[in-house]
Structure 1
Amino acid sequence: MRRSKLLFVPFWATYVFLYLPIVVLVVMSFNSGRSAYTYEGFSLKWYGELAHDDRVRDGLVNTLIVAAGSTVIATVLGTLLAVGLARHSRSKLLDAIALMPAVLPDLVIAIGLLLFYGLIALTLGLYSTVLAHGLFSMSFVAAVVRTRLANADTSLEEASRDLGAGPVETFIRITLPQLAPGIVAGALLAFTLSLDEFVIAYFTIGNTEQTLPIVIYSMIRFGVTPKINALAAILLLVSFTAVIAGQRMTKIGEARAQD
């Protein structure tokens, strides 16, 4: 049956609607003029100004600290959660609870964490944001690793146990290598989510520190400039790289599983 070319119109229209603003943002980041709406010529000066902006540099360092710390927490806890749900629990209720942070609005999580930190008298700072982002990203890591677990060969684990290996040794030598592509993909996803996350960081970081998304928010209140476009373009590049790397690792893992 011959497909009508009209069926591709909404397909491409959707892609244009999604990505045309991103293309415009990247193009305007190379604008030689100060206007964010009128292109006056090609220039890299706004990227150079970013390198000399202390506020942006401090925000970037804080963002990388939060993203790295929360990624470690989310990867470890998310992997253990996925293994526990897949191997030691068959409760749909626990599955729903484990994945709930991934579907709850960021604002609800942020307010809940802020109230909890106040209840336990925890001073807000980078560490409180690291914990918050780790909790938020843990569900995404668990979902990715659980998908990988569904394709894992359980007979290898059974053979390991039959040969006298304990649960911990079996997990380290058999289960963990099989899950490695999924774990890496989940870690990259957690890093990307933390890198771009604004709402939870805004509520849990306090008044003494700022992450890069908060810095961008404070800058954009006075209007969009090519400097902000350049900063957003860099974040887009990092995010796209992490997502593509995560997808690549997932495909490699699936190909090895089929072999």
Structure 2
Amino acid sequence: MSAASLWARRATLLVGFVFLYAPIVILAVMSFNASRLVSVWGGFSTKWYAALLENEQLLRSAKISLAAALTSAAIATLLGLFAAIALARFGCFRTRMLFFGAVHAPLVLPEVVLGLALLTCFVALGVGRGFVTLVIGHVTLTMCFTTVAILAAMRDCDPALEEAAMDLGATPPEAFVRVALPQIAPAVITAYLLAFTLSLDDLIIASFATGPGATTLPMRIYSQVRLGVSPQINAISTLLLALVAVALGLAALVSYWRARRNLQAVKTAAPTPNNAS
């Protein structure tokens, strides 16, 4: 590879990183701006983070978003686990393709269409929109992602190990919990963190599924930004980005730990030269 080609690739990579992450860096830097004008730097200050403690609306919306994300992620991960078990262990049952399509439909549906469908369903059933409908909407959105993550891990598990456990007297649920579940535990954790992040960042589904008493943090930020960008908005957005970054970092660490454990298992199972001879 020539030096010119190498520098061209590095320059392209640098431009891509600047394009993707420069707005995030600017947002984080301006959250420490002492000036009320977000376009003018007035010195370093953390007063806007302190002012967040007195902003009851933002704090209430943040609590609602966290509660909805934690709850919907748990439900979506559990349902995704059940769906992955059905797709990986139940063979080619009659409605498999229909079930597979229904589970993965939110992956290809526009969020506006999904949100409108949820709103129509809630109105037709006479369900008042609030925190419960918000959780239902986020579960509907994130369950497909948890199913994909867990299903990929289950396909790497050897069913013969569960069959051996059942031959030794374990029931099918006991064999799954004791044999398969420890193997897919990193994928389950990754699926939960992914669902948590998607729920915490969601704006479109929440706009259709929630009511006036359950305004999420992205909805609150969007409504206030339309009237002008406040330094407190920069501060709460930076905290939200930090929380999402931590969740994604944990998911990456879990995936790395899983890959490293699988590699170690392969090395352990591989025959040594003495055994091969």
1:162 paired residue among 164, 167, 188:
167
Quick one: distance in 2 between partners of 1:103 and 1:24? 32
Of the three residues 234, 239, 259, the one matched with 1:234 is 239
Question: Are 1:194 and 2:196 an aligned pair?
Answer: no
Equivalent in the alignment of 1:79: 81
Query: 1:228 deviation in Å?
Result: 0.8
- 1:31-68 Cα distance to aligned partner (Å, 9 max, x none): 00001111111000110111110001110111111111
Deviation at 1:164, TM superposition (A): 2.5
Tell me if 1:45 matches 2:67: no
**Letter in structure 1 aligned against 2:119:** L
Identity %: 37
The answer for the alignment partner of 1:105 in structure 2 is: 110
- The alignment status of 1:59 with 2:61, answered yes or no, reads yes
* Correspondent of 2:38 among 21, 36, 39: 36
AA at the equivalent of 1:125: G
**TM-score under structure 2 length normalisation:** 0.89
User: TM-score, with normalisation over the residues of structure 1?
Assistant: 0.95
Moved over 4 A (4+): 90-93
Q: Residues 156-184 of structure 1: CA distance to partner in whole angstroms, max 9, x if unpaired?
A: 11211222222111111111111110000
- Which ranges of structure 2 fall in alignment gaps of 5 or more residues? 266-277
Tell which deviates more after alignment, 156-165 or 71-80: 156-165
Q: Distance in 2 between matches of 1:89 and 1:66?
A: 34
Q: Following the alignment from structure 2 to structure 1, what is the Cα–Cα distance between the partners of residues 177 and 17?
A: 43
Distance in 1, Cα, partners of 2:15 & 2:98: 39
Decide which structure has the larger Cα Rg and report it: 2
Structure 2: which amino acid aligns with 1:205?
Answer: T
Partner of 2:23: 21
Instruction: Look up the match of 1:122.
Output: 127
- Is 2:244 aligned against 1:244? no
CA contact (8 A) 1:185 1:246 kept: yes
Give the residue type in structure 1 aligned to 2:235: A
Counterpart in the other structure of 2:211 = 206
Bigger Cα displacement from structure 2, 160-169 vs 29-38? 160-169
2:136 is the counterpart of 1:131:
yes
The count of residues paired between Structure 1 and Structure 2 equals 259
Equivalent pair of 1:32/1:45 in contact (CA under 8 Å): yes
Q: Per-residue CA shift, 1:218-256, capped at 9, x if unaligned?
A: 111111122111111000000011011011111212222
Unaligned runs of 5+ in 1: none
Q: CA separation in 2, counterparts of 1:29 and 1:194?
A: 24
